[in-house]
Structure 1
Amino acid sequence: MIRKLALLCLALGIILIGYGAWQFVQGKTEQHHTLKTAKALTTVKEDPVQYKNWNPKKGDTIGILSIPRLKANLPIVEGTSEDQLKKGVGHYKTSALPKQQDQIVFSGHRDTVFRHFGELQKKDKIIVKLPYGNFTYVIDHMKIVDQDDRTIIHSTKPKEELVLTTCYPFHYIGNAPKRYIVYAYPSKKN
């Protein structure tokens, strides 16, 4: 009886590991495909005033978030649902985009696109590449808040602010109780 129970536990463990590996590979494949689309999108320079009327639909690939310190080029997708975050970094639909002089909010999973997020430091650069241009931001500060803190997302008009969010602690198993927030502001060279 004990032997059968041990074999059952072993089989269950193998199935769970296999399922986790399959989900990881599937996520990487989706992100790779989305990044290819984003690269094609951002190589075409459109009318520089396009940002005034640009209104991407949820699920659309809209650009690339480049983080030199992490050697990361991450696809940006419109929206922050679970399906959208599987494809890359999600842009909060109600927040602004570069050049709109307001708060820009991007979110990503700590165990996928923002896996090394804790390595970011003050004064690191973050580059947002969109069809109408590339925009460089410099990290000013970071903070940790409760998971249900809704004061993070708000208008900063006319001051442009880039906010990156992910779950915290980074190596927590399950739904993390906190959020790690990075604040960056336009580089003087923009």
Structure 2
Amino acid sequence: MKKKLPLLIILTGFILLGIGLWQYVHSKVQSHTALAQAKELVSRKQTTAEVKKNKEHAASPNTGDTVGVLVIPKIKAELAIVEGTDPDDLEKGVGHYKGSYFPGDKGQIVLSGHRDTVFRKLGELKLGDQLKMQMPNGNYTYEITHTKIVKSNDKSIITLQKQQEELILTTCYPFHYVGNAPKRYIVYAKLIRH
């Protein structure tokens, strides 16, 4: 039995490594596929009349649908925006909080992402840095106005206000925490160009 124990430990290590590698590759494939879909979606530019007609007759996107692209030039990130914030949705990219608004709606837009994948470098952003949303109805540029850290159960940042256009990014915090993080890192940005 003493001779088999090291082999069992090594075999267990290889199995765990294989599972981790499979999860990593699966996540990368999901995010690359979603980004390709998002780029295809936004490349089909619509005329003003088409945008207005589609807005009047459009239903909300289904959970899991790709709806646009988030570009963060400072950290060289180009991420698919996916409707919903369930774990399966966040595997594909940045999740659009269902019920929050879209660019051009003059309301609060809430995007969430994992700190260890799509928003790994979010803490490197500074006030004045730009966030760009590429959507089927056009491109929108936002400027970071402030950030804050809240407890993980604090829902006060999601107000779904419709007085002014505001982009909010949320992720878990601290960035290098192992396990379920106790806080959330929030980035606020205002629309500067459409």
TM-score range, shorter chain: over 0.9
C-alpha deviation, 1:116, in angstroms: 1.2
1:83 aligns with 2:106: no
Listed one character per residue, the Cα deviations across residues 97-136 of structure 1 (whole Å, up to 9, x for unaligned) are 0111111000011111111111111111000111001100
Q: Which moved more, 1:132-141 or 1:110-119?
A: 110-119
Kindly state the Cα deviation for residue 85 of structure 1 after the two structures are TM-superposed: 0.7
**How far is 1:5 from its partner?**
3.1
Of 116, 138, 162, the residue aligned with 2:143 is: 138
State yes or no: 1:27 paired with 2:27. Answer: yes
CA distance in 2, matches of 1:77, 1:85: 8
TM-score by length of 2: 0.92
Change (3 A) 1:52 1:92: farther
C-alpha distance in structure 2 between counterparts of 1:14 and 1:140, whole Å: 47
Structure 2 spans left out of the alignment, 5+ residues: none
CA contact (8 A) 2:99 2:160 kept: no
Which stretch of structure 1 is more off in the superposition, 71-80 or 155-164?
A: 155-164
Name which of 63, 85, 108 aligns with 2:113: 108
> Which residue of 127, 136, 157 maps to 2:132?
127
State the distance in 1 between where 2:13 and 2:180 align.
21
Say if 2:70 and 2:134, in contact at 8 Å, map to a contact too: yes
Letter in 1 for 2:4: K
Aligned residue among 145, 150, 169 for 1:164: 169
Superposed displacement of residue 172, structure 1: 1.1
Contact 2:69 2:133 in 1 (8 A): yes
Query: What are the equivalent positions in structure 2 for 1:59-74 lying under 5 Å apart?
Result: 59-74=64-79
Deviation string 1:39-93 (CA, Å, 9 cap, x unpaired) is 1100111223344554211111100000001111100000111111111100011
Separation in 2 of the partners of 1:141 and 1:3?
59
2:155 match: 150
Change (3 A) 1:52 1:183: farther
Aligned length: 189
TM-score w.r.t. length of structure 1:
0.93
Contact 1:168 1:180 in 2 (8 A): yes
1:75 aligns to what SS in structure 2?
Answer: strand
Does residue 1:180 correspond to 2:185, yes or no?
A: yes
